[in-house]
Structure 1
Amino acid sequence: MDYLIGTDSVHTTAAICDYLDDRATADDTVTVIAVAPSGESMVRRDCEEALNVAAVRLATVGDVETEVRAGTPADELRTAAADADEIVIGAHSGDPDATRTLGSTARTLLESSTRPVVVVPIPE
């Protein structure tokens, strides 16, 4: 199985890794993408930390690839999902100050993706 993870924070990555604990195996591939706006070094650092968490937490998965991209999260994830069997994202931003409603990236992917999308709740 090929999973595509979209993340923006350590909290989102941790929640997604908890979801994948009983699902992803040594035969699977997980691609983890964090999208940062161009020129925002603080956000890019958060993205890189989120990817580091994924690499550690998914160590038993066969192949884990990580990448920081610049652009619009939904667009970047749709582009990357061409070979994915399943897209796994957080329900909203992992920012502790974010609202708890379904975020715009999740809404967009649910409405437009041609792949199954799993939306994982982010613990408070």
Structure 2
Amino acid sequence: MQYLVGTDSVHTTAAICDYLGDRVTTDDTVTAVAVAPPDDPTARRDADEALNVAPVRLATAGDVETERRSGSPATVLLEAAAEFDVDEIVVGTHGGDPDATGELGSTARRVLTDASRPVVVVPIPDL
């Protein structure tokens, strides 16, 4: 299996890794993609930290690759899904509104709407 993980934070990556932990095997490849504006050093740092979690938490996967990209998050994830010919896209539920716990953010909503392959939306627990 080829999985695409779309992440925006350490917390999101950890929740997605919890979901994938019992599913991935040494035959699987996981590509984690974080999207951050190139001119926002804080967002780039957060994206890099989020990506650092995947190889550690998914050590049972055959290969874990990470990439930081820029652009519209949903567009970037859909393009990456096609580029890597993934079998499944995994994203977190939340958007930027801290009061919207459990609700779908705009990226998850658009990926669900526009994806041509299975999408799993993982709930992000409260901190």
- TM-score, normalization by structure 1: 0.95
| One-letter amino acid of the counterpart of residue 71, structure 2 | G
Matches within 5 A, 1:65-104: 65-82=65-82, 83-93=85-95, 97=98, 99-100=100-101, 101-104=103-106
Change (3 A) 1:18 1:96: farther
Question: How many Å separate the matches in 2 of 1:123 and 1:63?
Answer: 27
Question: How many Å separate the matches in 1 of 2:105 and 2:38?
Answer: 20
Question: How many Å separate the matches in 2 of 1:96 and 1:102?
Answer: 10
Which of 104, 108, 120 matches 2:122? Answer: 120
SS in 1 for 2:49: helix
Deviates more, 1:51-60 or 1:12-21: 51-60
* Post-superposition offset of 1:4: 0.3
Question: How many Å separate the matches in 2 of 1:96 and 1:24?
Answer: 31
Question: How many Å separate the matches in 2 of 1:92 and 1:113?
Answer: 18
Matches within 5 A, 1:1-124: 1-82=1-82, 83-93=85-95, 97=98, 99-100=100-101, 101-124=103-126
Structure 2: 5+ residue stretches without partners: none
Larger relative contact order, structure 1 or 2 (CA cutoff 8 Å, min sep 6) = 1
SS in 1 for 2:24: coil
| One-letter amino acid of the counterpart of residue 19, structure 1 | Y
* Post-superposition offset of 1:98: 5.8
> 1:92 touches 1:98 (CA, 8 Å); kept in 2?
no
Aligned residues: percent identity? 66
Structure 1: 5+ residue stretches without partners: none
Change (3 A) 1:15 1:63: same
| One-letter amino acid of the counterpart of residue 87, structure 2 | D
| One-letter amino acid of the counterpart of residue 85, structure 1 | D
